[in-house]
Amino acid sequence: MFILLLLLLLLAWIGSSTPKSLIATSLIVVVSLFVVVVNYSEKPYFLLQPVFGQTFSSHWMFSKQPYKAFKPHLGYVSIPKQEPLKLHCELCSIVSSSGQMLGQAAGQQIDRSPCIWRMNNAPARGFERDVGQRTTLRVVSHTSVPLLLQKPHYFFGQGNDTVYVVWGPLRNMRKDGKGIVYNMLRQAAENYPHARIYVTTEDRMNYCDMVFKKETGKDRIQSGSYLSTGWFTLILAMDMCKEIHIYGMINDTYCKTEGYRKVPYHYYEAGSRDECAEYLLHESAPYGGHRFITEKSVFAKWAKTHAIKFFNPPWQLS
């Protein structure tokens, strides 16, 4: 800001002593560019530079440090105070909601990690042996918020140390009273003042879309798809966790593998459609599907440059 002031003074001086408006004009341009650069470098997105490695280095060249602990993340703000999310963890275990979790007895191993992330309304209670007991953070789709509110005390009341990060499109998340999901969350925050509820900002939602386009070459909206909760979870985890262990997530070729294990789509919905059938349905849906398989191939790519490991089933990453 001090440099900016000097430049402006210089500008004023040139403006008064010479009639050469060309110089003045170019200086104005330089100053404006400088302001924009300063503005952007103060934004949280540059945190992603270490996350996406070389891919984004030309865009996010301001950060030199490999990891910024506890830097407030402006992409996620609390309800109702609008405070940015502050979070850092050495090791996050992400427990998928997949039926792959069943019968693996990974609970103890999961509970040993300092941070345990779950998605949507996936319960721990009743499945402790396979999925563990603790939950430090939940990434929740706007469509799952009504499911949480069916058991508000279980989710927001008793274990109030869980952080909730909700994502959703602006039409449901707008804060002007017209966002139906945002309104529900605001009510929950009123009823449970100790609950730690955050929402993904509009900028951050656009950013997640942009990452999809960058990685797949496809425009998410034009290709008629929705990003999955897993996508938002991984992007957040890469910002917040030094190391990531993912449990129960299948890779992009799993469903084409001879004799793959047929499991329910969600571990807590016994008898629901088989996981691969659900994935194939979504992948080819012309409209409104999740591109789970495409997303998995992007995750495999990220795992090559970040400390991400996959368990049950394991992924062979070369």
Q: Are 123 and 259 in contact (CB under 8 A)?
A: no
If the CB atoms of residues 101 and 181 are measured against ligand NAG, the closer one turns out to be: 101
Closest CA to 192 of 149, 225, 255, 221: 149
If the CB atoms of residues 18 and 257 are measured against ligand NAG, the closer one turns out to be: 257
If the CB atoms of residues 179 and 313 are measured against ligand NAG, the closer one turns out to be: 313
Q: How far is the CB of 194 from ligand NAG (least distance, A)?
A: 4
Q: Which two tokens stand for residue 22?
A: 């060309």
Q: Are 207 and 200 in contact (CB under 8 A)?
A: no
Q: How far is the CB of 146 from ligand NAG (least distance, A)?
A: 23
Q: How far is the CB of 35 from ligand NAG (least distance, A)?
A: 5
HSE of 95 in the Cβ direction (CA atoms, 13 Å)? 37
Residues that bind ligand NAG (CB under 6 A): 35-36, 39, 160-161, 194, 251, 253-254, 257, 313, 315-316
The 3-class SS string of 69-83 reads CCCCEEEEEECCCCC
Q: How far is the CB of 294 from ligand NAG (least distance, A)?
A: 15
Burial class (CB in 10 A: 0-12, 13-18, 19+), 128: middle
Q: How far is the CB of 317 from ligand NAG (least distance, A)?
A: 6
If the CB atoms of residues 76 and 226 are measured against ligand NAG, the closer one turns out to be: 76
If the CB atoms of residues 65 and 257 are measured against ligand NAG, the closer one turns out to be: 257
If the CB atoms of residues 167 and 315 are measured against ligand NAG, the closer one turns out to be: 315
Q: How far is the CB of 199 from ligand NAG (least distance, A)?
A: 17
DSSP 246-293: EES---TTGGGSTTPPP-BSSTTSTTSPBHHHHHHHHHH-SSSEE-HH
Q: What are phi and psi of 306, to 5 degrees?
A: -130, 160
Task: Give the Cα separation of 164 and 144 in Å (integer).
Answer: 12
